[in-house]
Amino acid sequence: MTVVTSPADIIAVLQDIERRSRQGAINTTQDDNQKTWTAIGFRIAQNNFLIPLNEILEIFPVPEQVTPVPKSQPWVFGIANLRGEMLPLFDLKYFLSGHPTKRNKRSRIIVINHPELYSGLLLDEVFGLKHFPQEPNYDEVPSSDSDFSPYINGKITQQDTRWDVFSFNKLTADPRFLNAAA
């Protein structure tokens, strides 16, 4: 710690603080210039997916009170009350693969950011924010033999884990998804 005994010492301490603050600001600006890509990571069965942040509104645990919807497709999970609004819920795994999600403490609901389709999707697990040093490769999409393929925009790999970029926009444009009546 610096001992301040005169006005010149005070000025020297203040100049040192200013110099360190400017150096910190330069380092922060350099860090900001390095582009990163952030998305929400989630899992369906054994598949890891990412969803761009602009395609979701929120994430929350599976509600205890979910009302079934009669005469609907089996992948319609039900309706829940979310802060006074009725939120239709869909089991994404069931819709895509025909196998219902086995709910557990890791299961979550993601609310889709769509102007005309306020709805939530039941997922096996949500990992939270995932940060990547570069944008995904949008040119390389999986082959069409997967149930998930029509909804994949690209892929990215991080620490030997492959992440497919899932598009809720493609899902909400699918007429099969839009026809939830049985």
Cβ atoms within 10 A of the Cβ of 169, count?
Answer: 15
Pair of tokens at residue 168: 């809720």
Structure confidence at residue 29 (pLDDT): 47
Q: Mean pLDDT per segment of 10 residues, for the chain of length 182 residues?
A: 71 79 63 76 93 93 95 96 93 95 94 92 94 84 72 89 91 91 78
Looking at domain 37-178, its CATH architecture is Beta Barrel (2.40)
In the chain, where the domains are located: 1-34, 37-178
Residue type (1 letter), 112: I
Residues 6+ apart with CB under 8 A from 171: 92, 112, 151, 177
Encode burial over 64-76: b for 16+ CB neighbours within 10 A, e otherwise. eebeebeebbebb
Which amino acid appears at position 143 of this protein? S
pLDDT at 182: 72
Number of H helices, E strands in the chain: 4, 10
Count of CB atoms within 10 A of residue 110's CB? Answer: 22
